[in-house]
Amino acid sequence: MNSKRALRLGEVLKCLVYLLLTIYAVISLLPLFWMFTTAFKEGSAVISMPPQWIPYPTSLEHFRKLFSVSSIFRWLFNSAIVASLVTAFNLIFASMAAYPLARKQFAGRDLIFWLIISMMMIPGQITLVPLFLMVSKQGFLNKYMGLILPSMVTPFGIFLLKQFMQTLPKEVEDAAIIDGCGEFAIYSRIILPLTKPALAVLAIFIFTGNWNTLVWPLIATNSELMRTLPVGLASLRQEQMVDYGLLMAGAAFMAAPMIILFLRFQQFFTKGLTVGAVKG
Amino acid sequence: MLFGNNNTKKNLTPYLFLLPALTIFTVVTLIPVVRGVYLAFMRYSICGSSFIGLCNFKEIFADPIFWKSLYNAACYTIVVVPVGIIIALFMAFMIFPLPNNSQSFYKAAFYLPGIASSVVLSLVWSWLYEPNFGLLNYLFSLVGIEPLMWLNDPRTALPSLMLMALLGGQGGSIILYLAAMGGIPEDIYEAARIDGANRWQQFIKITFPLLKPTTLYLAIMGIIGALQVFNEIYMMTFGGPNNSTITISYYIYRNGFEHFNFGVASAAAVTLFSIIISLSVLQFKFFNSDVQY
């Protein structure tokens, strides 16, 4: 009797859990859904009341306008170049720095590691003005160099790779030392290939982070052609305040590559998040 | 010290590997931080700067908009960080016992908005909040709630930004909590069940205390991030209406890169820097007892 009732209560609770989770999932996906539907609506349908949930008829009108009023393909190109270069530099420099921190004994190791970690706490605002002055003095404003310089290596990247390299067994280097490999060969031919999973996580993290970043490219560019996608969309927003069909087309244009990347490489995204924050 | 003394080259190698990263950090972080602090005490102009002591600080401390921007950033943080953590913990608690495929579905659904940048989300939410044709007021009208002005009303503008952060931004925290829950050994729960603890008691007495490191991490990172909120302000409100959504980051940006008053911007940045550093230190002191299991 009693256990039967407990069972029924359990069923009800289970349904309630699914219901709550689904409601929250709908709420969290609704904005993206609304962005795509609006982007594919016909001009007048955008502000029709009651609103259309599914665009009918679908139209590429807003995208055509987006391509003609803005330099969005150039911004896409800039974003892709900047994010790729920053990712490449991070992989190289962070793995080089992580290697001795994870695998070597040397004076000052803990101090250097602690210094690098504590840099994660520094708010970007304090370096903004000095970086701007430095970059403009060097003539790097509106140059790719200026856009990538401040993020060429990140404390997070070193931390993530160091944590991973520490878990590799000691024997991998011993064999190489017996074979007479030099330090650089051990790093590049043995440690790096074994670190591939962590490098993939870092690459995805840095790439999406830079794809989405607004503040620095906003300050380091003032020519229309050197904007990255976020800065370009911000300027579009200021010029086309109320043309939401156009703005949603722009937002969808910027979000789509990241969403595809996420759906394809989901496990790398979640792995990068959990490094360092979870015990054990 | 296996191969300590064959030559000095070996001893230098670790530093050579670290050299590129440390050089870049020096150029793009350490020197700029020092220079940022220094600029806060200077009057900056292109032909040369002059030392003016605490004048920049006096100027911002006398500026009601500076206090307003600190107050707004604090309000935003005090609401968004704890409520966000509670939502994330609650969601993770509900997802955790589910079978694997439902787990991955919900994880993906909650994390997806975080993948689209805050620039994209800001554009979308401006559209959702649009008073006449926006989706939210339409949904309100279906259930008979009076339409709101959302971002256009000084009373609802900041709460609207908080709502946006709370509804879309918890995916990362949920995934972190789930990973941490997976790391708690099953036998602790078994022992509790034998002692007759129900699921709620298990959560309060076991799960929550053992998740403390994750909660601490989320709290610190959340506070650091929320105090610096900028993109949403820049994309959605420009600090308005009537400075009701100006935050300290936006104040720094406006003074530095719209008025080109680098001294004042730096003084405000130094203030934010000190607040963030002291909060981080405080939190570590209070919470950082090692959890053993």
Is residue A50 reached through a cis peptide bond, with omega within 30 degrees of 0 on the bond before it? yes
The predicted-structure confidence for A133-160, as pLDDT tens digits, reads as follows 999 988 999 999 999 999 999 998 999 8
Statement to judge: residues A54 and A167 lie in one domain: no
Domains in chain A, number: 2
C-alpha–C-alpha distance, residues B244 and B247, integer Å: 9
At B147, the amino acid letter reads P
Q: Can you give the CATH number for the domain in which A176 is found?
A: 1.10.3720.10
Residue span(s) of chain B under CATH 1.10.3720.10 come to 64-119+168-287
Residues A58 and A102 in one domain: no
Q: How far is A216 from chain B (nearest CA, A)?
A: 11
Among residues A47, A63, A79, the one where a domain terminates is: A63
Task: Classify residue A279: in a domain, yes or no.
Answer: no
8 Å CB contact of B123 and A258 = no
- A145 and A78 within one domain: yes
Buried b (16+ CB within 10 A) or exposed e, B107-122: bbbbbbbbbbbbbbbb
**Together in a domain, A175 and A261:** yes
Question: Among B124, B198, B261, which would you mutate to test the A interface (most chain A Cβ atoms within 10 Å of its Cβ)?
Answer: B124
Provide the 10 A C-beta neighbour count for residue A193: 9
Query: Does residue A184 carry a pLDDT above 60?
Result: yes
pLDDT of residue A44: 80
- Within-domain flag for A159: yes
What percentage of chain A carries pLDDT values higher than 90?
Answer: 45
The percentage of chain B sitting over the pLDDT mark of 70, rounded to a whole number, equals 93
pLDDT of residue A227: 94
Same-domain status, A181 and A201: yes
Is the Cβ–Cβ distance between A201 and A272 less than 8 Å? yes
* Shared-domain flag, residues A95 and A26: no
Which residues lie closer than 8 Å to A50 by C-beta, 6 or more apart?
B138
Q: Beta partners for B50? A: B43
- Asked if the Cβ–Cβ distance from B138 to A237 is below 8 Å, we say no
For residues A7 and A26, state if they share a domain. yes
Quote the CA–CA distance of B41 and A84 in Å, as a whole number.
38
Give contacts of B282 with chain A, Cβ < 8 Å: none
Is the domain of A25 the same as that of A112? no
- Tens of pLDDT, residue by residue over B221-258, are 888 889 999 999 999 998 878 889 999 999 999 999 99
- A49 and A114 co-located in one domain: no
Whether residue A195 is contained in a domain is answered as yes
The Cα–Cα gap between B256 and B229 comes to 16
CB B111, CB B88: distance < 8 Å: no
A138 lies in the same domain as A22: no
In A, minimum Cα distance to B267 occurs at A126
Using a CB-CB cut-off of 8 Å, the residues of chain A touching B183 are: 278-280
Q: Are A123 and B273 an interchain contact pair (Cβ–Cβ within 8 Å)?
A: yes
Which stretches in chain B have pLDDT values below 50? 1-6, 292-293
Tell me which residue in B13, B28, B218 faces A150 most closely, judged by beta carbons.
Answer: B28
> Cβ distance B105 to B247 under 8 Å?
no
In a shared domain, residues A99 and A56: no
Residue-range definition of the domain harbouring residue A137: 70-274
Give CA–CA dist A112/A116, Å, rounded: 6
Task: Give the pLDDT confidence score for residue A247 in this predicted structure.
Answer: 92
Best of B115, B181, B203, B255 to substitute, by most chain A Cβ atoms within 10 angstroms, is B115
DSSP, collapsed to helix, strand or coil, labels residue B273 as helix
Q: Residue B293's pLDDT is what? A: 47
Q: Which of A43, A63, A83 is the last residue of a domain?
A: A63
Distance from CA of B115 to the nearest CA of A (A): 6
The per-residue pLDDT of chain A, averaged, comes to 87
User: pLDDT tens digits, residue range A217-255?
Assistant: 999 998 889 999 999 999 998 887 778 889 999 999 999
pLDDT digits (tens, 9 = 90+) for A74-133: 999 999 999 999 999 999 999 999 999 998 888 889 999 999 988 888 888 899 999 999
Structure tokens that stand for A74 in this block = 């150039």
Side chain identity, residue B40? A
Query: Is position A280 within any domain?
Result: no
- ipTM of the complex as predicted: 0.87
H/E run at residue B286: helix B262-287
The arithmetic mean of pLDDT across residues A3-16, rounded, is 78
Angle at B38 between CA B62 and CA A214, to 5 degrees: 80
Q: Rounded CA gap, B27 and B19, in Å?
A: 12
pLDDT computed for residue B43 by the predictor? 84
List of chain A residues whose C-beta atoms are within 8 Å of the C-beta of residue B46: none
**What pLDDT sits at residue B207?**
86
- pLDDT for A31 equals 93
User: A11: Cβ–Cβ under 8 A, 6 or more apart, which residues?
Assistant: none
Structural domain ending residue among the three candidates A30, A63, A96: A63
The pLDDT, as a whole number, for residue A201 is 86
Q: Which amino acid is at B117?
A: S
Q: How far apart are CA A62 and CA A38, in angstroms?
A: 9
- Indicate the DSSP class of residue B9: H
Query: What is the rounded distance in angstroms from the CA atom of residue A200 to the CA atom of residue B79?
Result: 35
* Model pLDDT, residue B25: 93
Do A21 and A142 belong together in one domain? no
What pLDDT sits at residue A3? 64
The domain made up of B64-119+168-287 has a fold known as MetI-like fold (1.10.3720)
